Structures are given as structure tokens and as C-alpha cells.
């Protein structure tokens, strides 16, 4: 049913991958820029870099107000069962994109996870800019389970199974795009945890930054304040160069 005077949505088009195959799980996650000019669609179990390695398809809106495929993105270091694209975020202005691969193997650590940063060139092509990982990686951290990027060059990456303090308490990591040695790179600024951290809290199972990167919300779906797996959310504000003030 509709409400009098409401604005109705109509289907504009159906988007399919040019190389779709069974069990690719195209559409596992998606994002769109604030002005609707760019769409990113994940095929989580695409096998471009090995079984279940994952990929992202980019589409731009053309002069006919339809979306045309422009680029397929895979991780340079992609490998079997990485699940590249398990999490995905394009900043609202369409300048940066972060893609999580929580099952990516780091050195010999299984499921340590990584996040891949991409930047858009002047011609609209996306290039992999850097591989993000915490200063200290652990097996089964699932770093990259959740991701968010602001328009001013801040990134939050969740590792909900991190056990730095307590088993599976979880952590989120803040990165910033900085210029040094005549090039841009992404530097880790801070590891964030809940003030009341506890075992199996899975802090950072989801994260989100405001467009200006000043505010962030980090959830803990298995927090126990109201009972087993009741869940909670933690709000942070950035002061200077680091998130604080939960």
C-alpha cells in the first residue's frame, strides 16, 4: 500500500556480471555514492584468484541514467577463500573504497584478515592503493569483517574475534590517509576496544563512520549487558588525530 502524496520507487534496471557463474554469490554486498553516480557490487565467492577469493564490480551512471559496467576489481594478493568483499564501503563522494577480506592469510596466520584500500584516479579507474593490516596480526582475528571509510580519508576496520585483551573481545582499528616521503599511504592511528570489554563480546562486528570522519559507531552484537548476545553499540568522536570519548 502507499500513502497519498508519497514518492514511489520504480525499478531502473537489473544489473548482472558479465562473467557470472554458479555460486559466485554476486550481490553479497553493495554500496552506492551519495549522488548515485557509482555502484559497487560484490561477488563474494567469485574464483578469479582461486575458489571463493571474491571480487567487486564497478558501475557508473551514464547520460541515459543507466548504469554501465566499467571495472572488475580483485585483490593483488588475493587467494583461495579470502572472501574479498565480505565487507565493502565506498566513501560518499566516491573517492575511496575499502574492501575487507577477513579470511585472508597473513604470513602463516590463517583467517587473520586484511582490508584493501582503493583510490579513484582522475579517469575514473580504481587502483589498489594499499593493503591495510593491524600493527600486530593474529590468526582468526577476522580483521576486515567490517569496514567504513569517510570522505576525508579516515578508515575503520573491525576485527571482532581479536583476543588482544580477552578471548574474542574484538577490536576496531582507525587508519588515516597521510602524505609522507612524496606519496600517500594509510597509517594506523589507534586500536579501539570497548570500555567494558569482555570475552566473546565481538566488538566491531560492524562499524560506521560519518562522512566527515568525526563520529563513529561500533557495535558488539554479542555483548551481554541485557543478557546473552543481547548486543550493544558504542559511539566514538574524533579529537585531534585519534578516536576517543566513548
What digits encode the pLDDT tens for the residues 40-54? 999 999 999 999 999
Residue-level pLDDT at 108: 82
Q: Which helix (H) or strand (E) holds 191?
A: strand 183-192
Distances from the Cα of 79 to the Cα of 17, 19, 114, 138, 198, angstroms:
21, 19, 12, 18, 33
Residue 147 pLDDT grade (very low, low, confident, very high; cuts 50, 70, 90)? very high
Q: What does the alpha-carbon distance between residue 129 and residue 32 come to, in Å, rounded to a whole number?
A: 20
* pTM of structure: 0.93
d(CA 101, CA 141): 11
What gap in Å lies between CA 205 and CA 201, rounded to an integer?
9
Asked whether residue 206 carries a pLDDT value surpassing 90, the answer given is yes
Average pLDDT over the chain, rounded to an integer = 93
DSSP 233: E
For residues 77 and 131, the answer to whether their CB atoms sit within 8 Å is yes
Q: Which residue has the cell 546473552?
A: 228
Q: How far is CA 197 from CA 57, 168, 193, in A?
A: 37, 10, 7
Question: Over the stretch 71-109, which tens digit does the pLDDT of each residue have?
Answer: 999 999 999 999 999 999 999 999 999 999 999 998 888
Q: Is pLDDT of 245 > 60?
A: no
What is the mean predicted confidence (pLDDT) over 209-223?
96
Predicted local confidence at residue 7, as pLDDT: 76
Mean pLDDT of 31-38: 97
CA distance 204 to 189: 16
Return d(Cα 92, Cα 96) in angstroms, integer. Answer: 9
Under DSSP, the state recorded for 135 is: S
Amino acid at each position: 500500500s502507499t500513502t497519498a502524496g508519497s514518492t514511489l520507487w520504480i525499478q531502473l534496471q537489473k544489473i548482472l556480471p558479465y562473467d557470472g557463474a554458479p555460486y559466485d554469490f554476486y550481490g553479497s554486498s553493495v554500496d552506492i555514492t551519495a549522488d548515485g553516480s557509482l555502484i559497487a557490487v560484490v561477488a563474494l565467492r567469485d574464483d578469479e584468484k582461486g575458489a571463493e577469493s571474491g571480487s567487486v564490480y564497478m558501475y557508473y551512471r551514464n547520460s541515459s541514467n543507466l548504469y554501465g559496467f566499467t571495472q572488475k576489481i580483485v585483490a593483488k594478493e588475493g587467494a583461495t577463500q579470502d572472501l574479498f568483499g565480505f565487507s565493502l564501503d565506498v566513501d560518499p563522494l566516491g573517492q575511496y573504497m575499502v574492501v575487507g577480506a577477513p579470511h585472508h592469510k597473513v604470513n602463516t596466520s590463517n583467517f587473520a584478515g586484511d582490508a584493501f584500500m582503493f583510490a579513484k584516479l582522475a579517469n575514473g579507474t580504481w587502483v589498489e592503493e594499499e593493503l591495510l593490516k593491524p600493527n600486530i596480526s593474529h590468526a582468526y582475528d577476522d580483521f576486515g569483517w567490517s569496514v567504513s571509510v569517510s570522505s576525508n580519508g579516515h578508515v575503520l576496520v573491525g576485527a571482532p574475534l581479536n583476543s588482544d585483551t580477552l578471548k574474542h573481545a574484538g577490536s576496531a582499528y582507525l587508519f588515516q590517509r597521510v602524505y609522507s616521503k612524496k606519496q600517500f599511504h594509510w597509517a594506523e592511528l589507534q586500536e579501539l576496544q570497548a570500555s567494558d570489554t569482555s570475552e566473546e563480546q565481538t566488538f566491531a562486528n560492524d562499524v560506521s563512520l560519518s562522512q566527515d570522519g568525526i563520529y563513529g559507531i561500533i557495535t558488539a552484537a554479542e555483548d551481554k549487558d541485557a543478557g546473552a548476545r543481547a548486543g550493544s553499540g558504542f559511539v566514538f568522536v574524533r579529537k585531534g588525530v585519534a578516536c576517543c570519548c566513548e
